[in-house]
Amino acid sequence: MLVRVARSVPGIQTHERAGKFRSMSLITAANLAKSYGPDDIFSGVSFAIPKGARLAIVGPNGIGKTTLLRILYGEETASEGKVNRAKALRMGYLPQEAASDTAFESDASLWAVCLDSFADLRQMETEQARLETLMSDPLQAETALARYGPLQAEFEQCGGYTYLTRIRQVLTGLGFTPEEFDYPLCHLSGGQRTRALLARLLLVDPDVLILDEPTNHLDIAAVEWLEDYLTRWEGAALIVSHDRYFLDRVATTILEMSRVGFETYHGNYSAYVQDRQRRWDLRMQIFETEKIRLEKELEYIRRNISGQNVQQAKGRLRRLTRYLQAVEQIGLEHVVGRSWGQVAEQVSTTVSSFSVDEASRRVRSLRPPSNRPPGLSLHLHASYRSGDIVLRTKNITVGYPGKVLFRAEDIELRRLETAALIGPNGAGKTTFINVLTGLFPPTDGRIIYEGKDISALPAHIRSRMGITRTFQISRPLVDLTLLENVMTGALFARGLTRPQAIKKASDVCGFMGLHDLDKPVSKLTALEIKKMEVARALSTDPKILMLDELMAGISSDEADEMMDLIKKIRGQGISLCVIEHVMRIIAALTDRVIVLDWGRKLAEGLYSEVSHNPMVIEAYLGEDA
């Protein structure tokens, strides 16, 4: 039974430590399954978390990754199977939805909550102070000194002289300023609450960290700090993350989750992608070879079932019947290359043989492997070309009458390039593109687009001129279908007739890999909504397309698909400007990086140049960049 300890921050639960573990595995899951009523979420999940492991669970949204983490931690029960945890195991869990917990209504400060992680050390500190007082009393000095020496040694060994420094390092690494250390929990924003939970969890120093989307609400500097922290940390970690670049740095084993269990890949995420393709190619080759063999076997049976070799043909038909039943029950890859004695333990077969026609139908019904790695083969032809400098700003001021939010340094966007706007959370990146796209005008300064001052023009006019964007939070028209949502871009910006808009939207949806055009928006997946947002923007025939956190909320495979798509869009007459927190995505996609901090341009250039700029390191990336 798990022993809970008091917790000052929601989402953090630990278990009391009692020396080294006898077992090499800290957590073992055996044949776990989960269902809600008639709906099966997953089944057949078995794996172990050894000491020091760095495991990452990947898979499509809705496959049950978060549910599995809750089961492993003990916050939810499995419908079948068993979870074994090492005795005296200390576990720490960061859930996705932690920031909404009512415990954040507390008036306790962020610093005070972090201090609670070191309650034992603080108690030892108090005891040392008491003993120091007693040592001034001649009658009690000898006894106090005898106790003080071992206590001081234990205090030092447990980090008593460094725990305050640790708190500062963790809070600073996760993006908190010294002024924010004293903020009450109830005053923290959603992103700050998630970071506060993560800080508390790291300071507790459990044996196993279970992290569900830990990079949500972290800017680039904080993500890179967390990567370095976890690579140096000695405990085990089980991670669910959509950030494949984070997993590249941190994970050493990838567990690919499906409805029927896990497939294990050793190495980081990049190694997983390569190995997955290799495995699929091998499975496809085995499938094609085996299907040809079965068809030849059928041909022999068909020729001889009524001839001189009837007994041999009937024997082959009996073996083919049980073989096909086994393949249908456990899959081709679990049958090929194994003896029937091994296979028979896992399947149930009939005594009677299929007819020749039935055997032939079942061979034809065999399907190739279904877990093919995603890929795109798309082509886009833009309607316009732009000058070398598409857009530039001059002395822009953003704010309201009587109140200036920030003054932006001059910025240029160039033809056919992909530029990235980066900066810490709250640096004004989204506000800046709101101004560029006309959602609200600058209070002063000019926006020059193809030689014309467009500062006073509203958003719909700028959209018709070729400046459009996607939003960090999608805003689909929920009462319309996928196609109708995409059509709004063509109707609104290009002024097309309805038949023209239908054709335009259909073409763009095909380019985006969206084929179920009459599907209601309420039924779309997260990836489909992202694709629909881009399709709607592309239906306006943009010259400049601004993408605000396009990769947020989709899986790693889906992010790969979107990255491939962006690579195909770029360089075809459309200039791209992206806001993104994952620096490796930026490095892979962009030609130029602009580092902003409330209008102040800290640096500009290639990522390799920007990441080594002393001003950026000091003011943005931090001392450990």
Are both 100 and 200 inside the same structural domain? Answer: yes
Tell me which of 159, 183, 207 is where a domain ends: 183
Torsional class of 141: left (φ above 0), alpha (ψ -120 to 50), beta (otherwise): alpha
Reply yes or no on whether the pLDDT at 67 is more than 70.
yes
Between the ranges 333-337, 446-450, 532-536, where is the mean pLDDT highest? 532-536
Are both 5 and 78 inside the same structural domain? Answer: yes
CA distances from 254 to 59, 91, 172 (A): 10, 20, 30
- Percent of the chain residues topping a pLDDT of 90: 19
Tell me which of 141, 166, 183 is where a domain ends: 183
Are both 13 and 79 inside the same structural domain? Answer: yes
Torsion angle in degrees (nearest 10) through CA of 476, 479, 481, 486? -40
Residue 607 near residue 583 (C-beta atoms within 8 A): yes
Are both 158 and 68 inside the same structural domain? Answer: no
Are both 103 and 114 inside the same structural domain? Answer: no
Q: What is the DSSP string of 537-595?
A: HHTT--SEEEEESTTTTS-HHHHHHHHHHHHHHTTSS-EEEEE-S-HHHHHHH-SEEEE
pLDDT at site 380: 41
Are both 572 and 449 inside the same structural domain? Answer: yes
- Summarised one tens digit per residue, pLDDT across range 100-130 is 566 666 788 888 888 888 888 888 888 888 8
Reply yes or no on whether the pLDDT at 444 is more than 70.
yes
More confident residue, 8 or 351: 351
Reply yes or no on whether the pLDDT at 178 is more than 60.
yes
Tell me which of 331, 365, 399 is where a domain ends: 365
Please, which pLDDT band fits residue 378 given cuts at 50, 70 and 90?
A: very low
d(CA 566, CA 538): 12
Please, which pLDDT band fits residue 426 given cuts at 50, 70 and 90?
A: low
More confident residue, 485 or 96: 485
Reply yes or no on whether the pLDDT at 238 is more than 90.
yes
pLDDT at site 624: 35
Q: Which of 77-81, 330-334, 393-397, 609-613 is predicted least confidently?
A: 609-613
Reply yes or no on whether the pLDDT at 156 is more than 80.
yes
Three-point CA angle 78, 84, 89, nearest 5°: 120
CA distances from 319 to 257, 324, 340, 354, 359 (A): 33, 9, 10, 10, 11
What average pLDDT does the segment 578-601 reach?
78
- Establish if 380 belongs to a structural domain: no
Structural domains in the chain (count) = 4
- Establish if 272 belongs to a structural domain: no
What average pLDDT does the segment 70-87 reach?
93
Distance of CA 91 to the CA centre of its chain: 22
- Summarised one tens digit per residue, pLDDT across range 480-529 is 889 888 888 878 766 677 778 888 888 888 888 888 888 888 888 888 99
Q: Long-range contacts made by residues 356-359, C-beta under 8 angstroms, separation at least 24? A: 356/298, 356/301, 356/302, 356/305, 356/317, 359/298, 359/301, 359/317, 359/320, 359/321, 359/324
d(CA 52, CA 522): 42
What's 588's domain CATH number?
3.40.50.300
Are both 99 and 200 inside the same structural domain? Answer: yes
pLDDT at site 81: 94
Are both 197 and 316 inside the same structural domain? Answer: no
- Establish if 531 belongs to a structural domain: no
What average pLDDT does the segment 36-55 reach?
90
Are both 356 and 259 inside the same structural domain? Answer: no
- Establish if 521 belongs to a structural domain: no
- Establish if 536 belongs to a structural domain: no
- Summarised one tens digit per residue, pLDDT across range 543-568 is 889 998 888 878 877 888 888 888 87
d(CA 152, CA 166): 19
- Establish if 551 belongs to a structural domain: yes
Are both 248 and 134 inside the same structural domain? Answer: no
Are both 352 and 321 inside the same structural domain? Answer: yes
pLDDT at site 73: 93
- Summarised one tens digit per residue, pLDDT across range 307-353 is 888 899 999 999 999 999 988 888 887 888 888 888 888 788 888 99
- When the pLDDT of each residue in the chain is averaged and rounded to a whole number, the result is 81
Using the structure block, give the residue that is written with the tokens 């316009």: 384
Range of the domain at 132: 109-183
- Establish if 223 belongs to a structural domain: yes
Are both 117 and 100 inside the same structural domain? Answer: no
d(CA 454, CA 462): 8
Helix axes 356-365, 269-304, angle to 10 degrees: 160
φ, ψ dihedrals at 26, nearest 5°: -80, -40
Three-point CA angle 273, 278, 279, nearest 5°: 100
- Establish if 55 belongs to a structural domain: yes
CA distances from 578 to 129, 242, 395, 431 (A): 56, 18, 22, 13
